């Protein structure tokens, strides 16, 4: 089923790369990651993917591997590799879920929680510094707009969503 979308019939209607929401969000996220990744790696042996998994488990855990993949917008392969690394580093415990023994539950260890809290504090300091560079009157809008964009893109994760639903 083709989606009802505004048409882009000529070059003037195309969204320029530098104006695309996805591109701008990617640049912002990449800058944070490049800035903080050396600390994650040097101090804790974490990659950006393992840090993201650890942050999500710490915030929303205990989680299953499938839930972790969903929260991090990665596929099962990357989630599985991140889990293995975090278990080997003794940052995450993997155990049967008490409610469903077929499901594996992921939870931060005490060591993992300590590291997560330390990294989260640094991330918060950097984020506050970044937001302080945005005019004070605009700051309340940033979170609201990002939340709205996050909600507006949720349909892209649905199994029925397909790029072929859009006519070129």
pLDDT, position 26: 93
Lowest mean per-residue pLDDT among 69-73, 97-101, 155-159: 97-101
**pLDDT value of residue 1:** 55
pLDDT exceeds 80 at position 94: yes
pLDDT average, residue stretch 60-73: 89
Average pLDDT over residues 111-136: 95
Say how far apart CA 168 and CA 127 lie, in whole Å: 39
This prediction's pTM = 0.81
DSSP 15: P
- pLDDT score for 166: 84
d(CA 110, CA 148): 34
Inter-axis angle of helices 21-44 and 110-132, to 10 degrees?
Answer: 140
């Amino acid at each position: 089923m083709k989606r009802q979308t505004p048409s882009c019939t000529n070059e003037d209607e195309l969204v320029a790369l530098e104006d695309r929401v996805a591109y701008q969000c990617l640049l912002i996220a990449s800058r944070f990651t490049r800035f903080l990744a050396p600390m994650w790696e040097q101090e804790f042996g974490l990659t950006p993917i393992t840090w993201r998994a650890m942050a999500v488990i710490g915030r929303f855990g205990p989680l299953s591997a499938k839930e972790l993949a969903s929260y991090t917008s990665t596929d099962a392969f990357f989630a599985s590799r991140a889990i293995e690394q975090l278990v080997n580093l003794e940052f995450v415990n993997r155990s049967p879920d008490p409610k469903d023994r077929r499901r594996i539950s992921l939870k931060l260890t005490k060591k993992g929680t300590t590291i997560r809290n330390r990294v989260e504090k640094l991330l918060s300091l950097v984020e506050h510094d970044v937001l302080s560079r945005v005019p004070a009157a605009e700051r309340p809008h940033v979170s609201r707009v990002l939340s709205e964009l996050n909600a507006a893109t949720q349909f892209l994760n649905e199994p029925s969503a397909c790029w072929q639903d859009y006519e070129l």
